[in-house]
Amino acid sequence: MKKLPLFLVILALPFSAFTQMDNLSLANCYAKAQAHYPLSGQTALLEQANALQLERIQKERLPEISWNAQASLQSEVVQFPFQLPLPPGESALNLPLYRIQTTADLQYTIYDGGLNEARQKIEKAQLAADRQQVQVELDKLKPQVNQFVFGILMQRERIEILRNSQSTMEQKIETLEAGQRHGVVLPADIDKLRVEVLRLQSEIEQAEGAIRGLVASLGELIGEPLTSDVEFALPDLQEALGGTELQRPELQLFNFQKESILAREDMITAARRPKVGAFVQAGLGLPNPLNFFDENLSPFAMGGVKFSWKIFDWEQSDRDRQLLALRSQMVNQQKESFESTIERMDGKYLEDIATLEQLMQRDEEIARLQEQVLEQVSAQLEQGVATSTDYITQANALAQARLNRQLHALQQQQIKVEYLTLKGQL
């Protein structure tokens, strides 16, 4: 086998790289747009904040140690209205007017009634709702992707129809030039067709510019540079009609919001339970705060257990539970309203799809008749019976019929995709 020269291989490499076209599915576009959107990074931040908050709540169960110091000066001390039995050599009890004290205090909650666990449950439920809220916001990018993709596809269909018309015009010019040589066709008729070719070229260039703009916008949305010849793989839309189950992320958000509200009921219950804790205090005092007769700087210590129980709250917890129930009902109503809004749009989408199906059948019939008329006008033009203006008018009518047929087919695909997107199936 004969080997190619090295310089030919090197030249072929970049050429093959440039001729290779991108291929994107709608699902890939959705995923790339969501990953590139700045809000997508908020999920990781929410999880980090939640982890810190949970750690903070857990650390609150550890013993609390503090160091306190105090110095005071008072105007008078306690005076006893009777003679105190004092130690030998003491004629009176001289309490100092100043007090200096420093202590190390330790407090530990032995039982908090489940308050700590209830707070952690609330934080976890709130995290689930916050993450789903981010997903709801990211889901709003899908309609934008749909608009860009189908805008590109429609402009391409327009270009294809225009190029077919341009090719037909150029072929007709060649035919008429032969007729001109035989004196059958006037030069002005040929010039009019040449003008129409240039006009079609201008429309093609405008459509190509529109494609470049849409491709650039789509590339910015998904965070990747795209070429103008990027290909799109559309999903199978044959089963996109009637009976599609609603799977929007908003539904899961409503569920998480309701769970977050109901999780606060454990907090209400825990607040009514008894609390048990222990405490220890040790320090230095001048005078000794535990001994009247010790006026020197002396160490002291004290420890014990404390108990608290809010027996009556004047039905405050009942009112709190009623508020939670009302908020839960409000979320249920929002969910029902959302589902009702989506369901009301089903009829419009299905009717639009059926209408476009009828329009495509009508477009097919119109295009077939326009082709027949154009063939007759073409023959008349070559015989000198019709004018080039008649031919251009009929050629444009045929091009418009073909364009309508292709655009209606794309519009039906777009409506099906939008319908599936609305239902949360894409």
Q: What is the pLDDT of residues 41-57, one digit of tens each?
A: 999 999 999 999 999 99
Q: What is the pLDDT of residues 14-73, one digit of tens each?
A: 433 333 345 888 889 999 999 999 999 999 999 999 999 999 999 988 999 999 999 999
**392 sits in which H/E element:** helix 388-422
What is the rounded average pLDDT of the residues 100-122? 92
User: What pLDDT, on the 0 to 100 scale, is given for residue 9?
Assistant: 38
What is the rounded average pLDDT of the residues 303-330? 90
Q: What is the pLDDT of residues 211-251, one digit of tens each?
A: 999 999 999 999 999 988 889 888 877 655 555 788 899 99
Query: What is the number of alpha carbons within 13 Å of residue 274 lying toward its C-beta?
Result: 6
What is the rounded average pLDDT of the residues 367-387? 84
Distance CA 345, CA 423 (A): 10
Residue 358 lies in a domain: yes
Residue 369 lies in a domain: yes
User: What pLDDT, on the 0 to 100 scale, is given for residue 88?
Assistant: 66
Residue 37 lies in a domain: yes
Domain count, the chain: 1
pTM score: 0.79
What domain range is 339 assigned to?
Answer: 22-61+115-272+315-422
User: What pLDDT, on the 0 to 100 scale, is given for residue 23?
Assistant: 80
Helices and strands (DSSP H and E) totals, the chain: 10, 6
Q: What Å distances lie between residue 79 and 93, 94, 194, 287, CA to CA?
A: 9, 10, 122, 17
Residue 88 preceded by cis peptide, ω within 30: no
Residue 150 lies in a domain: yes
94 Cβ contact partners less than 8 Å away, ≥ 6 residues apart: 295
Residue 72 lies in a domain: no
What is the rounded average pLDDT of the residues 101-109? 93
Residue 101 lies in a domain: no
Which CATH number belongs to the domain containing residue 37 in this structure?
1.20.1600.10
Most confident of 94-98, 99-103, 375-379: 99-103
* Residue 358 amino acid letter: Q
**CB-based burial label for 237 (10 Å; 0-12, 13-18, 19+):** middle
Q: What percent of the chain has pLDDT over 70?
A: 88
Is the per-residue pLDDT at 185 higher than 80? no
Distance CA 133, CA 131 (A): 5
User: What pLDDT, on the 0 to 100 scale, is given for residue 193?
Assistant: 84
In 3D, which of 376, 424, 367 has the Cα closest to residue 396? Answer: 367
Pairing of strands 275-286, 98-111: antiparallel
Q: What percent of the chain has pLDDT over 90?
A: 42
Pairing of strands 98-111, 64-73: antiparallel
Pair 134, 40: CB distance under 8 Å: yes
Distance CA 281, CA 67 (A): 10
Residue 56 lies in a domain: yes
User: What pLDDT, on the 0 to 100 scale, is given for residue 123?
Assistant: 93
Is the per-residue pLDDT at 13 higher than 50? no
| Of the listed ranges 15-19, 71-75, 99-103, 317-321, the one predicted with least confidence | 15-19
User: What pLDDT, on the 0 to 100 scale, is given for residue 343?
Assistant: 86
Pair 313, 287: CB distance under 8 Å: no
Q: What is the pLDDT of residues 143-162, one digit of tens each?
A: 999 999 999 999 998 898 88
In 3D, which of 249, 334, 335 has the Cα closest to residue 34? Answer: 249
Residue 71 lies in a domain: no
Is the per-residue pLDDT at 281 higher than 90? yes
